[in-house]
Amino acid sequence: MKPVMKKLIEEKSETIVCDGQLPLLGNKFVRSEVKPEKPAPPPVDGAVVLNTTPFFRSVTNVVNNIPVVFGVRLGVKMHEDTATRTNFTLPNGVNMTLYEDGALSPAISSLLASVEDALKALSLDGLVANISQMIPAVNVTNAVVDIPSSFTMSMDVVVTDVRCSDEAKLNCTIPCSDAVLLQNLRTVGLGDINKVVGNNMEDLLLPHVESLINSVLASNCTAGEERRPLPLLHAAEVRDVPPLSLWLTALCMSVVAFALGICWSIYRHRKDPATLADGSPISQCRALTEDGLLLLLTLSATFLLVWSNSTTAAAVVVGGEISIMQFSLMETTHILIYSGSVVFAVIVFFFSGVYPYVKLLCILVCTLGFRKPQHAFVRLLDCTGKFSFIDTFAMVVMVGGLELSGIAEVHIRPGFYCFLFATILTIFVGNYALYLWRRNTSVRLDQKCSPSEPSHSENDVVEAERDDELDTNSSKGKKCDLMRFVLRGLNGAATAVCVLLMWFIPCLRYNVGGLASVVQPDSRDMAMFELTSGSFTILTVCFLTTVLVPFLFAITYPNCSVTASWCAADALSVACIAGLVQLGKFVSYIIGEGMEAIYTAEAKLLWPMYPVFAFVIWQWILVIEREFKPVRWMWQHLTRPRSTLSSNVAADSREPIGEDKRHNRLFGFFFALFSTQFFHGSVKA
């Protein structure tokens, strides 16, 4: 009997189910029309409309800017006063393996593990427990979802009781219980399944999802608490104008300092005026003009520095609405110190908050006070002032590559440009004091000028002119000119190659980890042009100081030493090495402890940066030789007899140095450096 029944069931079951029961089920679930959508309930008394709050506008913008993730494009729009419509669009359909051989597929397992880690980091342990309990309850051997055509699923998220305590509506709260209502589940593009979902699945599925969301929100409320702040986003204070008392005090002190400086200039000129080459004193008008311009530039740079150091330089903006973090000098230093990047914090604070003020003060003391504009200390300040660009470059390389367009962006504030212009003005003040202030006067000589005593220490141009004159009058003049031209050409070509590669070939690689890697799964290789193209001002300053000026420095060396103070490739190198090494700690501190499951970041240098480091080393060799002549001294010490060395040192210290001799000595620098002791013994013998 059993075999007969078994055979009958096997033969007739397909006919009974397919021809009998399924049509009945179809007629029951598939109706001619989808039931109409439910209207969203109005806001309760005292509640605000959702689209008037920056929080909901920010979340809407963030979701709409998330790229396609696992073939799903998300979209949100404000549907009614209390409702937002969330769309899940699969433009290419879906073909996904959920279960294989009774277990979740590797792709689904990896995604769920990332989601669970992220939820734990957000302290949503209740939701993690629910997910962990649901998955083992499903007993499926193999499951594949295959929908070849595009379709969209949507539902309305209703929040009727959002209350804000400030006019900007940044500090808002929601109830601890029943805060969210889900309704109007719909699909488009699935044929008759659209009717099944719209008429039946809404009542079967949405209540459970709604209960889960509300239970998670309620779990973060303490006992007896009725309302809780909106999660995740907390606005940071952004200050574009310093406190009134601070900038008024700085302005008044600048006016007083300018008046005192002018009075001192008049007194010093009457007591001991600078003289021209013919021994006559310079005019009072020239003295006041030069001193007044120096004071005006110095005090303007100081005022800009005070303004920038007391305001916000940049802010991290989420969804184009809420600034969740601001960067100022003190805030950045604080973050770097507490994230463990103490060395980089000291570098940034010193060159951005201490060194510019010290440099400006020392320049005033050495010029207006001691009248020694060409003092070695002033030259050192002039060569190192460019390191104040470290803060600017660090902002570019540490933040520029980690932006998520439309989701989390860095907005440059006016305080950043104030600091940038102050840095430029500070360098210009050093150039003016070193090369232009009291030019062609006795101030720039060891003693007063006379017609019969030309100035051999006036500036680089005089020295170069003497070299040219000596070469021209000698039989080897043409050969020296050709050698100088060739050396400058080679130097310029090598420099151009070194500094241009990083601008057009990716030089930095950024990797994002944690749940954020779902949004940005691939590493980003970026060139300097991409990093700085967001701001024309930053792009211009970076290109001038890391490409154009280094090239001019190379082809004009040693005549135009002013370019050395503007070559900021070394500042960029310090920012890249110190900043990128500490990037992981920096990001970890910003997003909070234990949030590695949400977002991690790291960066590494690519090969186009290494030629820049080589140029920086070569540049400083040239600058040191130009200012202090160590190679020249070693060369004389090694090649001249001991009996004549001491008598020639004094004369050579006054003799101008030919540029071709400089280059020859530089080419032998390392050889001479490592062979000094050996040759010293030979000279003694």
Higher pLDDT, 323 or 418: 418
Closest CA to 67 of 594, 653, 577, 516: 516
Per-residue DSSP letter, 176: S
Q: Region 472-487: what's the mean pLDDT?
A: 69
Contacts for 340 with CB less than 8 Å, ≥ 6 apart: 582, 585, 589
pLDDT digits (tens, 9 = 90+) for 26-38: 555 555 577 888 8
Q: Region 10-15: what's the mean pLDDT?
A: 57
Q: Is the pLDDT of residue 602 over 50?
A: yes
pLDDT digits (tens, 9 = 90+) for 35-91: 888 888 888 888 888 888 888 888 888 888 888 877 888 899 987 888 999 999 988
The whole-angstrom separation of Cα 560 and Cα 569 is 18
- Cβ contact 93:147 at 8 Å: yes
> What confidence score (pLDDT) does residue 473 get?
53
Count how many Cα atoms sit within 13 Å of the Cα of residue 157 in the half-sphere of its side chain. Answer: 19
Peptide bond into 558 cis (omega under 30): yes
Handedness of CA 323, 329, 334, 339 (dihedral sign): positive
pLDDT digits (tens, 9 = 90+) for 613-647: 999 999 988 888 877 777 777 777 777 665 554 55
pLDDT band at 664 (very low <50, low <70, confident <90, very high): very low
Neighbours of 623 (CB within 10 A): 20
pLDDT digits (tens, 9 = 90+) for 203-253: 888 888 888 888 877 877 877 788 888 765 667 788 888 888 988 999 999
